[in-house]
Structure 1
């Protein structure tokens, strides 16, 4: 993407935050704050282009405002930039937090969520009473026309902002799922880094099948969303004092604070640093989702004056205990695990024999015929985008279930590496088959414990079997050194002819489908072996989705 296009995206971002039309002078000032030295005249030039594209419209002499088409462009466009923007957004929110805990005045960061009935609010009260939130202070606005309730709750980023105001730099690291056993937090079981993702980490995990907040309340054990950050060890005592003061006024949710360089909740802490775990601000809403309630969550979208918030409950009685000092096994991230399988790929493109990496998902045997019919229909409708190879395998313990193995796209990385070509899996993404196809979400393989495609499936983000004009399928983005381009392209074309899903081969530094390769590399986009599995799930057939499971001989696989 050119510098000019980058500037226009930033202009759209500025307009999207405004409640009324604004002029070129204010836009130029805001751009300057973001590091773009663009005068009013240049802003007006860019605005005319945006008007012509339908992304903005002029409102008399008041200025311009963003259109629905502009918002859509903002959401879908420049995804390779968006993966950096998410982390920057939280840093911006920290800076904008000016809450003074001594006077209990100033702005805090809030999550904004919509619930669709009054009973949902009553259910949430028990979660707040149990201290499974950052704070019981909330704001509720009822829309009498629709019967919905917009609720703003305090986000954990508020604490990072308060630390920053007190001279303590807080580095937000991960959002994830924290395991609770007998009311004791034990370790993180899944994580996504706040860097290199277009999805806010906790929103990626906010699905009923991933959390079990209600079980923590009723049984003492379960999974809750939580965040992890680092601060310098020299600021530990001051941070504890601040957190104690915050607790007194109703802002808490702190799970544990490590000692210097001490591992915490299954995560390593570098020497000279301290780790802090905090309950995710969206936890009460995850509990609602588990009960089948419809919710719409926006995380850290705005700041709000603390005085506009009121406690939803009168007393908070924390139910979680402090984690014991026993050391937990470090949580393994996806990419290190994957490299060990990638190295074992032995597929020979000439002989069409050897091991590939497979995904193995499990389904009830009674649903197999229907599932196979869906897989065949999907392949016949989209042969360019769907890998046709599969293998049925026995379930290791349940005779009523059967496994469907498909080819994982990391097999391509393994084949190239086996032929002396370095290939790095960079992102797992959601690719919209518009014209041209565009990634609309990306998650870095290096910053997650869970396969990105499995996340997109769990959140029902694919639309492979829909009749819409723009289908959304699973794809990955890889980087290959330019020096090996000729031989790599030769091998990739052979794989494509065999039936592997190789969608596009880029040029050095080229933005392809909204993803960008680093200097001296070129990008490759490949389809996920989980696309047929996602299609099965879209048709409401229960399936246990697994990713990057095992090695399998290619010659033993069947073809749709």
Structure 2
């Protein structure tokens, strides 16, 4: 029997419902992305990950490195490669759902940054219309300039947007307060009801939130002329398996 196509918004809902991460305790499961880099580029990748976290263009400073031959959730890391697991921003959606806040994922795209402030989405792919993660697609188009944002404060980064009903603002605010003291630092902009956020129109009586894309560091590695392969929303993993990149 042929399986029906599964669009990205459905995958986001599936993964977000399984998130058990508690930012105050540093425990539970998070959604992660898995990327491959060549072994000879590993030190370069580490330096990019550190810079990305320091400059706020990554979701979190938590990473997990897996050498060639190691198995990650049933996936065997190929010879000559190192796997890098990073936190996916869909973890945030899971935190909100856990608090009883229904979330509607809208899409992923490229956001123009000027003097470290977000201006607008220049490209966006709606989750309900694609079966491939938008940020994976956009990395392949080579239209980001994450390194410029990290070094100069202006350029284009990957981000995604979701919305929630305005009556849930107090609950969302409490989640954001908890994240302020955690390793999760990926919230780019929070909107107000009935007003477009970074050029994207939301639903009436809804508030939009933009989070930085978890694959921004990988886009920066690619911009540096290094080979990288990324699979967003690879699965769920216990957050205690990760380490802080700043301590690596």
TM score, norm. by length of structure 1: 0.41
Q: 2 CA distance for matches of 1:177 and 1:219?
A: 17
Q: Look up the match of 2:72.
A: none
Q: Name whichever of 251-260 and 221-230 sits farther off.
A: 251-260
Q: Look up the match of 1:125.
A: 50
Q: Look up the match of 1:174.
A: 107
Q: Look up the match of 1:285.
A: 218
- Which of 25, 30, 48 is matched with 1:103 structurally? 25
Q: Give yes or no for contact 1:243–1:252 (8 Å, CA) kept in 2.
A: no
What SS does structure 1 have at the residue aligned with 2:128?
coil
What SS does structure 2 have at the residue aligned with 1:96?
coil
- Superposed displacement of residue 251, structure 1: 0.6
Gap regions ≥5 residues in structure 2: 70-77
Q: Give yes or no for contact 2:57–2:150 (8 Å, CA) kept in 1.
A: no
- Which of 291, 305, 308 is matched with 2:241 structurally? 308
Q: 1 CA distance for matches of 2:196 and 2:176?
A: 20
Q: Give yes or no for contact 2:64–2:84 (8 Å, CA) kept in 1.
A: yes
- Superposed displacement of residue 136, structure 1: 0.5
Q: 2 CA distance for matches of 1:91 and 1:224?
A: 24
- Which of 68, 87, 90 is matched with 2:9 structurally? 87
Q: 1 CA distance for matches of 2:24 and 2:51?
A: 28
Q: 1 CA distance for matches of 2:183 and 2:144?
A: 25
Q: 2 CA distance for matches of 1:132 and 1:275?
A: 19
What SS does structure 1 have at the residue aligned with 2:240?
helix
Q: Look up the match of 2:66.
A: 141
- Superposed displacement of residue 208, structure 1: 6.2
- CA deviations on 1:1-45 (whole Å, 9 max, x unpaired) are xxxx23xx4xxxxxxxxxxxxxxxxxxxxxxxxxxxxxxxxxxxx
What SS does structure 1 have at the residue aligned with 2:188?
strand
- Superposed displacement of residue 181, structure 1: 1.0
Q: Look up the match of 1:196.
A: 129
Q: Give yes or no for contact 1:208–1:286 (8 Å, CA) kept in 2.
A: no
Q: Look up the match of 1:243.
A: 176
Q: 1 CA distance for matches of 2:177 and 2:184?
A: 9
Matched, 1:219 2:152: yes
Whose radius of gyration is greater, 1 or 2? 1
What SS does structure 2 have at the residue aligned with 1:271?
coil
- CA deviations on 1:200-222 (whole Å, 9 max, x unpaired) are 11111013631000111122211
Q: Look up the match of 2:74.
A: none
Task: Please give the residue correspondences for 1:452-531 in structure 2 after superposition, counting only pairs within 5 Å.
Answer: none
Compare the two structures and name the one with the higher strand fraction. 2
What SS does structure 1 have at the residue aligned with 2:196?
coil
Q: 2 CA distance for matches of 1:225 and 1:123?
A: 15
Q: Look up the match of 1:34.
A: none
- Superposed displacement of residue 150, structure 1: 0.7
Q: 1 CA distance for matches of 2:32 and 2:48?
A: 20
Q: 2 CA distance for matches of 1:189 and 1:202?
A: 13
Q: 2 CA distance for matches of 1:243 and 1:311?
A: 20
Q: 2 CA distance for matches of 1:201 and 1:208?
A: 11
